[in-house]
Amino acid sequence: MMYILFYDYGENALERRAPYRDEHLGLLQESLKDGYLVMAGAYADPLDGAAIVFRTREAAEAFVTVDPYVSSGLVTGWRVREWNVVVGG
C-alpha cells in the first residue's frame, strides 16, 4: 500500500513557489533519502497542483506540517489517499 498526497495550488503558482522551492525540494530529497518518499512531481500545463507518493500515511501527513508550500499558502488544499498498488512499487 502507498499513500498519495495531493496538493491543489492557487493562482500564479509558478511565480509564487520560487522563494520556497529550494526548501520544498530539500524536504522531498530528505524524505527520499530516509525511505519515506517514493516519487513526487507537479502537474504540468496547467501547473495547478502536485502528487507526492509516500510509503505511509504518517509520513505524508508529517510532510504537510513542515512544507513551506503549505505554510506560505501556495497550497490551497491537500488530501491523502490510500493507493492499492497492483504492479510496481
Q: What is the pLDDT of residue 63?
A: 98
Rounded distance between C-alpha atoms, residue 67 and residue 57, angstroms: 16
Cell numbers representing residue 22 in the block: 529550494
| Nearest Cα residue to 57 out of 10, 11, 16, 4 | 4
Cell numbers representing residue 61 in the block: 501527513
Please tell me the pTM assigned to this model: 0.95
Q: What is the pLDDT of residue 41?
A: 98
Rounded distance between C-alpha atoms, residue 56 and residue 54, angstroms: 6
Query: Which residues, including other chains, have CB under 8 Å from residue 25's CB and lie 6 or more apart?
Result: none
Tens of each residue's pLDDT in the chain, 89 residues: 999 999 999 999 999 999 999 999 999 999 999 999 999 999 999 999 999 999 999 999 999 999 999 999 999 999 999 999 999 87
